[in-house]
Amino acid sequence: MIASLIAAVLLTAAPGPLEVVKSGNADVQKVAAAPGAKVEQLAKAVERFVDFGELSKRALGKQWDSLTPAQREDFSATMEGLLKASYAQKALGQGKAQVRYGKESVEGNEATVSTTLKVQQDEVPVEYKLFREDGKGEWRIYDIVTDDVSLLETYQGQFRKLLADKGFDGLLTTLKTKRAQLEKSGAAR
- Cβ neighbours of residue 124 closer than 8 Å, sequence gap 6 or more: 116, 117, 118, 146, 147
User: What's the CA gap between 18 and 29, in Å, rounded?
Assistant: 16
The per-residue pLDDT for 183 is 79
Q: What is the mean pLDDT of residues 69-94?
A: 82
CATH of domain 2-187: 3.10.450.710
User: What's the CA gap between 102 and 92, in Å, rounded?
Assistant: 24
Whether residue 33 has pLDDT greater than 70:
yes
Mean pLDDT, the chain, rounded, equals 85
Q: How far is CA 28 from the centre of its chain?
A: 12
Taking alpha carbons only, the member of 177, 178, 183, 157 closest to residue 60 is 157
Taking alpha carbons only, the member of 107, 54, 84, 106 closest to residue 182 is 84
pTM of the predicted model as reported, rounded to 2 decimal places? 0.83
Percent of the chain with pLDDT over 70: 86
pLDDT tens-digit profile of 168-177?
999 999 999 9
User: What's the CA gap between 186 and 189, in Å, rounded?
Assistant: 5
